[in-house]
Amino acid sequence: MSRIGNKPITIPEKTTVEYKGREVRVKGSNGTLSRTIHAAVDLKIADGVVQVIPLKDDKPTRALQGMTRSLVANMVEGVGKGFERVLEINGIGYRASLSGDTLSLNIGYSHPINFPLPKGVSAVVDKNNVIKISGIDKELVGQTAARIRRLRPPEPYKGKGIKYAEERIRRKAGKTGTK
Q: Tell whether the model's pLDDT for residue 117 goes beyond 90.
A: yes
97 in the same domain as 43: no
Both 159 and 89 in a single domain?
Answer: yes
| Domain containing residue 22 | 3-80
Q: Are strands 16-20 and 83-90 parallel, antiparallel or unpaired?
A: unpaired
pLDDT digits (tens, 9 = 90+) for 26-37: 999 999 999 999
pLDDT at 2: 63
Note whether 65 and 107 are same-domain residues: no
Assess whether 74 and 127 both reside in one domain: no
| Residue 175 included in any domain | no
* pLDDT tens per residue across span 119-162: 999 999 999 999 999 999 999 999 999 999 999 999 999 989 99
pLDDT confidence of residue 4 = 87
The count of domains in the chain is 2
Q: What is the pLDDT of residue 97?
A: 95
Asked if pLDDT for residue 1 goes beyond 60, the answer is no
Mean pLDDT on 90-98: 94
Could you tell me which residues come within 8 angstroms of residue 165 by beta carbon, excluding any fewer than 6 positions away?
86, 87, 88, 130
Give the mean model confidence (pLDDT) for residues 6-31: 93
- The residue among 30, 53, 80 that closes a domain is 80
Instruction: Give yes or no for residue 80 having a pLDDT over 60.
Output: yes
Reported confidence tier of residue 177, pLDDT bands at 50, 70, 90: confident
pLDDT band (50, 70, 90) for residue 3: confident
Percent helix / strand / coil, the chain, rounded to 5: 20, 35, 40
| Spatial distance between the Cα atoms of 71 and 41, rounded to a whole number of angstroms | 13
Q: What pLDDT, on the 0 to 100 scale, is given for residue 179?
A: 66
Classify residue 172: in a domain, yes or no: no
Residues 88 and 129 in one domain: yes
| pLDDT confidence bin for 5, thresholds 50/70/90 | confident
Domain closes at, from 80, 115, 142: 80
CATH, residue 88 = 3.90.930.12
47 and 90 together in one domain: no
Instruction: Report the alpha-carbon distance of residue 164 to residue 48 in Å, rounded.
Output: 35
Beta bridge partners of 171: none
Counted residue by residue, the chain has a size of: 179
Residues 75 and 92 in one domain: no
Q: Are residues 101 and 153 in the same domain?
A: yes
Question: Is residue 108, in this structure, part of any structural domain at all?
Answer: yes
Structural domain ending residue among the three candidates 28, 46, 80: 80
Res 174: pLDDT: 84
Q: What gap in Å lies between CA 12 and CA 27, rounded to an integer? A: 11
Distance CA 178, CA 45 (A): 70
**8 Å CB contact between 107 and 152:** yes
Say yes or no: 90 and 158 in one domain. yes
> Stretch 30-54: mean pLDDT, rounded?
93
